[in-house]
Amino acid sequence: MTRLACGMAVVAVVWLGLLPRLMRLPPMAGHIERMEVREVNPAAMYYTELERLPLRPAWIEQRLVLWP
Amino acid sequence: MKAAEEEFLDVSSAAAAGVTSVKPWRRGLPEDVVATLIGVVIVAVALAVTWAGRPASDADSREKYPKGWPTPLAATIEKPQTWSDSPAEALVDKRGRSVFRPILLGMGWVVAVAAAGVVLGGRSLGGVMPGSLALAALACAAYGLASHKLIHFYNLEYPLWALSLGILIGNTAGVPRWLAPALAGEFFIKTGLVIFGAEVLFSRLLELGLPGVMTSWLVTPVVLVTTYWFGVHGLGIPSRSLCMVVSADMSVCGVSAAIATAAACRAKKEELSLAIGLSLFFTVLMMVAMPPVIRWLGLDPIVGGAWIGGTIDATGAVVAAGEALGKEAGEVAATVKMIQNSMIGVIAFAVAVYWAGWVEHDAALPRTSLAAEAWRRFPRFILGFLLLSLVCSWLFSLSSATALWVDGTTLGFTSRLRGWLFCTGFVCMGLQTNFRELAPLLASGRPLVLYVCGQLLNLALTLAVASLTFGWLFRKAVEP
C-alpha cells in the first residue's frame, strides 16, 4: 500500500504541478494553441473521434470526372 | 496488518492461482458469443433510437448535420474533457456545460455491459458488480489523466494511461480480492471491437479515388507482411503474435489496429501493451518531425499529406501533422488515413483466418479436419465485428440520409461507448500485467528494432507510391 501511495503521489505531482508548467513553455503552448484554433484532436484513435469528419475535399469532388 | 494484506493479491501469485484471470464461462454462452450478442444488440438499438429521433426536415443535408443526425443517446455518454490546471475543468465542455452527468452515465454503461456479460455468461452477478463499479471509476480516472491538455495535444492516448494505472496498482498494492472476479479485460475489448465494427465503413474506401486506394491498399499489406516475416525469421522473435501486433499497429493505424489484431491472433496482454507503447512513442516523434522534414525536402504538400496519412500511426496525429503543411495537405492526410482505418476489418479477419488455419493448427491433424480445426479456433467475435461493418457500410452507401443516420449513431454514441469499453479493458489488462514479464520484452530490444525497420520500409514505400500517384500519375486530378 505504501508503494501505491508513493506512485499516486508521483502521479499527482506530475499532473497537477509539472504538466501545467510544461504546457506554458512557448513551444508547447504554441502547439496547443494551433491545435485548438484548427479544432484538431491529435488524440483521436480513429477517424470517428476527430473534431471534423474527413469528407472528400470539395476540390477533389470538382475533379472527380477526371478520375479513372 | 497481515489480514489487510491478504485482501490484496500480488499480480504474479494471483495469476498463478488463476484468480485475476476471467473465470471460464462454464454454464452460460461462450465469451465470444456473449461479446457479439451484446455488441450487435447495442448497435441495433442505437440505430433504432437515432432513427426514431431523426430530423423532420433537411434529413439528408450534410451541411446542416456535418456529424450526422443528432442522437438522443449522445446525452447518456461522455468522457472527461481537456483540462489545464485543475481536474475539475474536465467536468465542463467547451461550451461551458457540465458533463458530470453524462460521464457518470458513461460509467453506468460500462457496468451495464459487464452485468449483461456476467448474466449471459452464466456467472453470479453479485460477486462482480462492486468490482465493475471500481473498474468504471478507474477507467474514468485514466480518461482524466489522458485529458490533460499537454498529454491530449501530444497524442498520448488513453490506452497508455489505462494500462499504466492498472500496472501501477497491480504491481504495488496488488489486486483487491473483491475486484478480481470483475477483471474481464478480454470481454470488454471484444465487445468494444464488435461495436467498433459499425465505424469501419468500407464505403469510405473510395473517398480519394484510385490514388488514395493505391497509397493505402498497396503499401499497407506489403509492409504488414514484410515486417511480420522480418520479425519472425530475420530477428528471430519467438512470439509470432508480438510480431503481428507490432507490424499491424505500425502499418495500419496504430492502437485501434493493434487492439483488433491482438484479439484476432490472441496476443498476450504484455505484447499488446508493448506494441501500444512503441506506437504512441513513435507517433509523437513523427507528428512533430514529419512536417519540417517534408518542407526541408521540398515535397509537394499534397504528396507530403499522403505520405503523412500513410505512415503516422494514429489518426489524430495524422491530422495534426497534415494541417501543419496546409489545409489541402491536411485533407489528403486525413482521408488517406481514413481509407487505411477502413482496412482494419479486412486485416483483422485475414489475421484471424491465418492464425486459426496456419499458425495454431496441429500439423499432425489429417487434412480433412484442417478446416474444422481452423473454425474451432476462429475467434467468433470477429464475425460480429464484420457483420456490423458490412451492415453499416451498406446503410451508409444507400443514400445521403442513411449516411447521416449511420454517422449520427456512431459519432454520437457507439464510438464513445466503444472508447469506455476499451479504456476499461485496458485498466483490466494493466491490473493483470506483471511488470516483470514485460521487462524481458523491453530489455531484448528486438521489438523496437522490428518497429523501426518496419517503419523505415513504410516511409520509403509510402513516399514512392504517394509520389507516383499524387505527384505524377493523377497529379491533375488532385491539384487543388
The distance of A54 to chain B (nearest Cα, Å) reads 6
Q: What is the pLDDT of residue B152?
A: 93
Q: DSSP string spanning B170-233?
A: HHHT-EETTTGGG--HHHHHHHHHHHHGGG--GGGGGTTHHHHHIIIIIHHHHHHHHHHHIIII
Angular region, B348: left φ>0, alpha ψ -120 to 50, beta rest: alpha
- Asked if the model's pLDDT at residue B316 lies above 70, the reply is yes
Q: Which residues in chain A touch residue B320, judged by CB atoms under 8 angstroms apart?
A: 35, 40, 42
Q: What is the mean pLDDT of residues B264-291?
A: 90
Q: What is the pLDDT of residue B423?
A: 96
Average pLDDT of chain B to the nearest whole number: 86
B117 vs B157: CA distance, rounded Å: 27
Q: What is the pLDDT of residue A56?
A: 61
Q: Which residues in chain A touch residue B152, judged by CB atoms under 8 angstroms apart?
A: 41-43
Q: What is the pTM of this model?
A: 0.87
Domain that includes residue A17, residue range = 2-66
B2 vs A57: CA distance, rounded Å: 65
Sign, CA dihedral B54-B57-B60-B63, equals negative
Query: Higher pLDDT residue, B334 or B203?
Result: B334
| Confidence at B147, pLDDT banded by 50, 70, 90 | very high
Q: For B298, how many CA atoms within 13 A lie in the half-sphere containing its CB?
A: 0
What total number of domains does chain A contain?
1
A34 vs A22: CA distance, rounded Å: 16
Q: What is the mean pLDDT of residues B205-210?
A: 66
Q: Which amino acid belongs to residue B410?
A: T
Distance of CA B426 to the CA centre of its chain: 11
Do residues B347 and B248 lie in contact, with contact meaning Cβ atoms separated by under 8 Å? Answer: yes
Are the Cβ atoms of B316 and A4 closer than 8 angstroms? no
| Cα separations in angstroms, B237 against B224, B229, B331 | 16, 10, 38
pLDDT tens readout for residues B70-110: 999 999 999 999 999 999 999 999 889 999 999 999 999 99
Q: What is the pLDDT of residue B460?
A: 96
Are the Cβ atoms of B210 and A67 closer than 8 angstroms? yes
B79 vs B421: CA distance, rounded Å: 12
pLDDT tens readout for residues B16-45: 443 434 444 456 888 999 999 999 999 999
Query: Higher pLDDT residue, A12 or B371?
Result: A12
Q: What is the mean pLDDT of residues B451-463?
A: 95
B216 touches chain A (CB under 8 A): no
B476 touches chain A (CB under 8 A): yes
DSSP one-letter code for B358: I
Do residues B87 and B59 lie in contact, with contact meaning Cβ atoms separated by under 8 Å? Answer: no
Q: What is the mean pLDDT of residues B49-53?
A: 95
Q: Nearest-CA neighbor of B162 among B132, B193, B141, B131?
A: B141
Q: What is the pLDDT of residue B139?
A: 97
Q: What is the pLDDT of residue B337?
A: 87
Share of chain B above pLDDT 90, in %: 50
Tell me the range of B10-14, B211-215, B465-469 where mean pLDDT is highest: B465-469
| Cα separations in angstroms, B81 against B148, B187, B347, B388 | 8, 26, 32, 29
User: Could you read off the pLDDT tens digit of each residue along chain A, which spans 68 residues?
Assistant: 888 999 999 999 999 999 999 999 999 999 999 888 888 888 888 888 888 776 666 555 554 444 44
Query: Higher pLDDT residue, A67 or B347?
Result: B347
Q: What is the pLDDT of residue B5?
A: 44
Q: Which residues in chain B touch residue A12, judged by CB atoms under 8 angstroms apart?
A: none
Q: Compare all CA atoms of chain A with the CA of B422 and give the residue at the minimum distance.
A: A45
Cell representation of residue B121: 455468461
Are the Cβ atoms of B145 and A15 closer than 8 angstroms? yes
Q: What is the pLDDT of residue B63?
A: 85
- Asked if the model's pLDDT at residue B470 lies above 50, the reply is yes
Q: Per DSSP, what are the bridge partners of residue B148? A: B83
What φ, ψ does residue B362 adopt, rounded to 5°? -90, 115
Q: Which residues in chain A touch residue B341, judged by CB atoms under 8 angstroms apart?
A: 46-47
Q: Which residues in chain B touch residue A66, judged by CB atoms under 8 angstroms apart?
A: 476-477
Are the Cβ atoms of B153 and A35 closer than 8 angstroms? yes
The CA-CA-CA angle for residues B28, B425, B199, to 5°, reads 95
What φ, ψ does residue B135 adopt, rounded to 5°? -65, -40
| Confidence at B339, pLDDT banded by 50, 70, 90 | confident
Which of A20, A40, A64 shows the shortest C-beta gap to B84?
Answer: A20
Q: What is the pLDDT of residue B15?
A: 45
Do residues B113 and B191 lie in contact, with contact meaning Cβ atoms separated by under 8 Å? Answer: yes
The distance of A24 to chain B (nearest Cα, Å) reads 9
- Asked if the model's pLDDT at residue B447 lies above 50, the reply is yes
The CA-CA-CA angle for residues B106, A50, B323, to 5°, reads 155
Q: Which residues in chain B touch residue A15, judged by CB atoms under 8 angstroms apart?
A: 87, 145, 148
B67 vs B71: CA distance, rounded Å: 10
B115 vs B108: CA distance, rounded Å: 10
pLDDT tens readout for residues B373-416: 667 777 888 889 999 999 999 999 888 899 999 999 999 999 99
B169 touches chain A (CB under 8 A): yes
Query: Higher pLDDT residue, B242 or B14?
Result: B242
Query: Higher pLDDT residue, B11 or A52?
Result: A52
Which of B85, B168, B407 shows the shortest C-beta gap to A20?
Answer: B85
Q: What is the mean pLDDT of residues B320-347?
A: 86
